Structure 1
Amino acid sequence: MRQYPPSAWAIFSILIAALVHFGLGFAIEFSVDEAHYALYAQHLAFSYFDHPPLVGWIQWPLISLTSNEGIIRLVPELLWVLSCYGVFLVSKELHRLIQGRNAGYLTSALPSANTCALMSVLCIIAAPLPHVLAIGLLPDSILIPLSLGIMLMSIRWIRKDTYAASDWLVLGILLGLAGLSKYTACFTALALFIVFLLHPRKTWIRQGGFWLALLIALILISPVLYWNMTHDWISFRYQIAHGGGSSWAWRRVAAFLGLQVLCFGPLIIIGAFLFCKDCLYTSRRSMIALLSFFVIPFVIFAALSGGGGLPHWTSPAWFCLAPFSGIGLAKAWSIRHRFWIKFLLILQITLCLMGFVYVLSGGINTAAIKSNPIADLYGWKLAGQKAAELVRANQVQGIAVQNWTLGSRIAWYAHPLPVFILDQRQDQFDLWFGELPLGSSVLLVNWTGMPFNQPTLDKPIDGPSGEKFAFGECKPIEHIAIERFGQNLSSFEFSLCSHWQKTGLR
């Protein structure tokens, strides 16, 4: 490694990981969320039921040209590379801040800024879950580089105590784009406010640039506000209910924390601990303010996890923690504490590689198909094409499924046929395709990974106002099995269902 500078190793590491992502992007079909957000790009709007619009807008140029998954996945891949570059820049800027505030023995013992930045990037490359975001586009994939950009601007504010007009302009654009990417961008904005608030001098509040930045951010997120205003604020109401989850339980919090360690690895945690132990008392107020980019979202999501949550929600927070971890690990490396760093780095990268092989293989062959999570990534293209063929052959009104997670892939691969969700819960599909009209006939698709009873008169579906809905008759007409490397992953059943009707009250 001494033959090349740390920056060269950082570039080399990022490129190797990017090539792996690129290959995987062409090898697997869209996941449920990827297909859902790709549908955003096919139905451009000011906003959507469950998320702001940027995740759809950013894909639109490619999706208007192609439906190839690998090419479309260049978007999250570029965002991941940009995020790694952001981690590199933030780490160097943080190193410069520490050096500038303390010229004592601690900072003189720190390795070079590029070495710290390399360690920060390796913390991300060795973490399993960020690779998922590099292949499949989620709102978090966009929020991560934007959060790092806002954090970078925060460090520059602390160092310079002033902004040029161009700095305020950039900050306003970053805040606005973050708001267009995901509602949890408010946590990043709160961390930025804490940086301003804890600064000894409150000069920012008297600067016209600060208010200009707020105005720019507000203008950029105005499409979301307008769309919600014209749709009874359904997106905000959904997110509040979704964030609260179900009944709260400590065991869910414990499971969430354990899953976070598994998804992001112990290396980044140990690095953050070493930083806090050795460097936190250097410009303590500034460091605490900057650490809020991790602490605020992580603590909030950990608290909410008692009612339910997803592990990738904290991804922007972990990326913002990586620069601190890289400095802590680089300092430990410089004083010959290298065994455990090497061990954890090799272990985590090995686990990532095993995960890639596991996905490509189709998972573990078990009798219980539902227990294989990788089965969810295969077969939907074939099922969508078969569904489109059967709809046209039988001249029915469209395709029906009983949960939106089944509808996303079918709607993408059977485009432009309408897909109706029968669970009677309001979602984005109601805005795109409406409710299934009474008396309609459709092709019902059932998947063994998430099976449902056919909603016939003897097994109706409950409606939101106490009524029940069912088809007069459902007749299976086709069945396809999905196999990979000789193992059965799942199967799809296609039924012709007629006369959708109300059957009375519960």
Structure 2
Amino acid sequence: MIFFFCAFLLLRIIFWWFAFPNSDEAYYWLWGQHFDWSYYDHPPLEAWIQGLCTSLFGRSAFVLRLPNLFSNVAFFYTYYRIVIYLHKNLEFWKVMLLVVSSPLYFIFLGFAWHDHLLITASLISAYLLIRFLDTYLTDGRGETWRLYASAIALSFAFLSKYNAIFVAIGFFATVITEARLRPLFRDRRLYIAIAIALTALIPIIIWNVSNDFLSFRYYVDRSVRPVDPGIKIGPFLGFTLVSLFVVPPFSWIGFYQLLKTRLPIQSIYPTVAFWVFVPSTIGLTIISLVSAALYYWNITAYLLLFPLLPFVFRNFKAQAIYGLIISAVLVFHYTVFPLTALIDQQSDPDSRMLFGWKEVAAIVESEARTLNAPLLVTSDYRSASALAYQMNNRNVIAISDRIDQFDFWHRNLPDGKDAVIVSDDWYPAELVVLSKFDRTSEPITISVKRFGVWIKNYYVRKGYGLKS
């Protein structure tokens, strides 16, 4: 196990220190430079933390992912407490190996996205609730502080990402389906705990009231109001097959064995684990058939299953090798060279955007010096976020045909201003941006290559006379 843990740790350090921020990492970092009650795409906790870290320690790849370091420590310490509670002997290293060798968790515990906070807070909340429910079943009372602490942790999960609702549904389903727990519905402490968890909605509601409930509407439209009605086989296969890949097949076999095995533990834990897994997985599978569901939306579903796997699981080495190979490929892909660039010139535009920003920023700075305090404009939120991070400039503007957080920061652009405009082939400036100016210059093409292989082109123009 020592070899595998050292290898995974080395990969994590390489990624944290050397990978340029994924477009969404830069996007959420930029949120932190514009403090608000909440934000259009997600709740505010990750942005608040990013803003605090940047104000204290400045901007760097290490600082960007510093919150992940603390959440990882809390995450695995909670697993340690769970393993000790369930097994009475130290199976922790096996459980930790199962988690880090699952590409889903290797990736999302590393990205400075909202997910690392979501899964950490959800795991802490579930552990505390299980401890409360077990003592409640023993003495009819339970430890009140654990119930309230679980609610506080759940509120942090809600402040991280909206799909914490699946965790809450799993908790509720446990209480309602377990006859011995139903008296809790007559216990005022349960309602106090619910109220504590719902406090997370206060800043989110304040923001939505001030912004015509656009965040809530965005998620409803995205999940249950598809533009094209009918069954979506492609998204369904994408959700299910990628889920089977990022959580290794060995673990899925173990999950199936858990369903058939009577576990030698006296705890409500397996029931909670079942109900956290089932509604989320079934619900998102159904959504994938009619609209869109991404594999990582189900990231909380598997959390409580891993500590149960040592009861039925034997393929630790096989899963570790599987996870190590995939993780090594992903780290190389994100930090050194996007492997999908070897396939064709269009595939995986997200990963291509990790490269070339130092060159782009140098040209932008050079062009900006020829204008009088110009605006910095790009054609999409991804490029705007990456440029803002590279230049450490919170005032970069995205002009595109989709609503994003930039629309709330830059509602009224100044008439007549000149600008330096950045675009690429994924979101060409010709679509929306160029029509906003009286005239524009011919583009400077920046061709990004690694090891002699073309990755993508960026285009830098000057725009004269903005028309808002």
Q: How high is the TM-score relative to the length of structure 1?
A: 0.82
From 436, 457, 478, the equivalent of 2:444 is 478
Corresponding residue for residue 82 of structure 2: 90
8 Å CA contact retained: 2:445, 2:458: yes
Please tell me whether residue 259 in structure 1 is matched to residue 238 in structure 2: no
Q: 2:283 aligns with which of 290, 296, 300?
A: 300
One-letter code aligned to 2:273: L
| Matched letter for residue 75 of structure 1 | P
Out of 393, 408, 411, the residue aligned to residue 434 of structure 1 is 411
CA contact (8 A) 2:240 2:285 kept: yes
Matched with 1:125 is 100
Per the alignment, residue 243 of structure 1 pairs with 223
1:178 maps to 2:157: yes
Against the structure 1 CA distance between its residues 388 and 432, is the aligned structure 2 distance closer, same or farther, given a 3 Å change threshold?
A: farther
Which secondary structure state, in structure 2, belongs to the residue aligned with residue 492 of structure 1?
strand
Residue 182 (structure 1) shift: 0.9
- Distance (whole Å) between structure 2 residues aligned to residue 252 and residue 375 of structure 1: 23
What amino acid does structure 2 have at the position aligned with 1:234? L
The equivalent residue for 1:114 is 90
Alignment of 1:65-104 (within 5 A): 65-93=57-85, 95=86
Counterpart of 2:398 in structure 1 is 421
Shift of 1:326: 3.6
RMSD value over aligned CA atoms?
Answer: 2.9
Does the C-alpha gap of structure 1 residues 451 and 228 become closer, same or farther in structure 2, counting only changes over 3 Å?
closer
Partner of 1:54: 45
Q: What secondary structure is seen at the aligned counterpart in 2 of 1:34?
A: helix
Task: Name the counterpart of 1:376.
Answer: 353
Contact 2:364 2:460 in 1 (8 A): yes
The aligned residue for residue 44 of structure 1 is 35
Cα shift at 1:180: 0.8
TM-score normalised per structure 2: 0.88
Partner of 1:27: 18
Cα distance between partner residues in 2 of 1:379 and 1:52:
30
Relative to structure 1, the CA distance from residue 69 to residue 57 in structure 2 (aligned partners, 3 Å threshold; closer, same or farther) is same
Answering whether residue 257 of structure 2 is matched by residue 274 of structure 1, we say yes
Q: Is the 8 A contact 1:32 1:408 kept in 2?
A: yes
Alignment-derived partner of residue 375 in structure 2: 398
Partners in 2 of 1:253 and 1:390 — Cα distance? 46
CA distance in 2 between partners of 1:25 and 1:476 (Å): 38
- Asked if the contact 2:235/2:288 (under 8 Å) is kept, the reply is yes
Which segment is superposed worse, 355-364 or 293-302?
355-364
1:223 equivalent in alignment to 2:203: yes
- Measured in 1, the distance between the counterparts of 2:6 and 2:184 equals 39
- Residue 410 of structure 2 aligns to which amino acid in structure 1? F
* Residues 63 and 286 of structure 1, relative CA distance in 2, 3 Å threshold: closer
Residue 309 of structure 2: SS of its match in structure 1? helix
Deviation string 1:78-126 (CA, Å, 9 cap, x unpaired) is: 3234323333433443x35xxxxxxxxxxxxxxx6422x4332222111
For residue 52 of structure 1, report the CA deviation from its aligned partner: 0.8
Describe the superposition over 1:114-167 as per-residue Cα deviations: whole angstroms up to 9, x where unpaired: 22x433222211111222223211111111011111221232133211332321
Alignment coverage as a number of residue pairs: 456
CA contact (8 A) 1:172 1:213 kept: yes
Q: Which amino acid aligns with 1:172?
A: A
Mapped partners of 1:408, 1:132: distance in 2: 20
Where does the alignment leave 5 or more consecutive residues of structure 2 unmatched? none
Amino acid at match of 2:177: L
- The answer for the alignment partner of 2:145 in structure 1 is 166
Q: Residues 225 and 470 of structure 1: is their aligned pair in 2 closer, same or farther, counting only changes over 3 Å? A: closer
Distance 1:301 1:91, change over 3 A: farther
Larger Rg: 1
Select which of 465, 485, 492 maps to 2:458.
Answer: 492
Q: Which amino acid is 1:390 matched to?
A: E
SS of the counterpart of 2:305?
helix
C-alpha distance in 2 between matches for 1:292 and 1:286: 10
In 1, Cα distance between the equivalents of 2:403 and 2:334?
32
Report the CA distance between 1:170 and its aligned residue.
0.6
Change in CA separation of 1:246 and 1:25 when aligned onto 2, cut-off 3 Å: farther
The 3 A distance-change label for structure 1 pair 487 and 81 is farther
Take 2:267 and 2:77, find their aligned partners in 1: how far apart are those partners? 26
Aligned equivalents of 2:294 and 2:369: distance in 1?
Answer: 38
Q: Please name the residue that 1:104 is paired with.
A: none
Q: Offset of 1:290 from its aligned partner?
A: 2.9
Cα 1:246–1:381 shift into 2, 3 Å: farther
Q: 2:308 aligns with which of 320, 324, 337?
A: 324
1:202 to 178, 182, 188: 182
1:305 deviation in Å?
Answer: 2.0
Q: Is the CA contact 1:35–1:409 (under 8 Å) kept in the aligned structure 2?
A: yes
Say if 1:209 and 1:158 are closer, same or farther in 2 by CA, change over 3 A: closer
Give distance in 1, aligned partners of 2:48 and 2:10: 25
Identity of aligned residues (%): 22
Which secondary structure does the structure 2 equivalent of 1:494 belong to? strand
